[in-house]
Amino acid sequence: MDKITDTPWLTTKEAAEYARVNPHTIYDALRAGDLEGYQINGKPTNPWRTTTEALDRWIRGEPQPLKKRTPQLTPRREFRPL
């Protein structure tokens, strides 16, 4: 790999450059589950990461592996006696 960090993970910008598409196309595919990717720490506000292998499958139109989704838990409200 020619990246300084030698990581297989690509940012959405790097993924868009690799696939030669607009970064919004990558975001849309990630959100829809059409492209395999992960958000750092699984939080919706964190940036996405994907791999070249996942991008190659997406470009060829192959199905992406199913991801197990963890249910979103609603935080408990603090009990306050009346």
Residue 49 contacts residue 9 (beta carbons within 8 Å): yes
76 within domain boundaries: no
At residue 1, does pLDDT exceed 70? no
Assess contact for 30 and 50: CB atoms under 8 A.
Answer: yes
Tell me 3's DSSP state. S
Tell me if 36 is assigned to some domain. yes
In a domain, 74, yes or no: no
Give tens-digit pLDDT for 4-19. Answer: 457 789 999 999 999 9
Find the helix or strand (DSSP H, E) in which 50 lies.
Answer: strand 48-51
Tally of structural domains, the chain: 1
Residue 26: domain span: 10-60
User: How many residues are given for the chain?
Assistant: 82
- Does a structural domain hold residue 68? no
State the DSSP H helix or E strand holding residue 51, giving kind and residue range, or none if neither.
Answer: strand 48-51
In a domain, 2, yes or no: no
Give the model's pLDDT for residue 44: 77
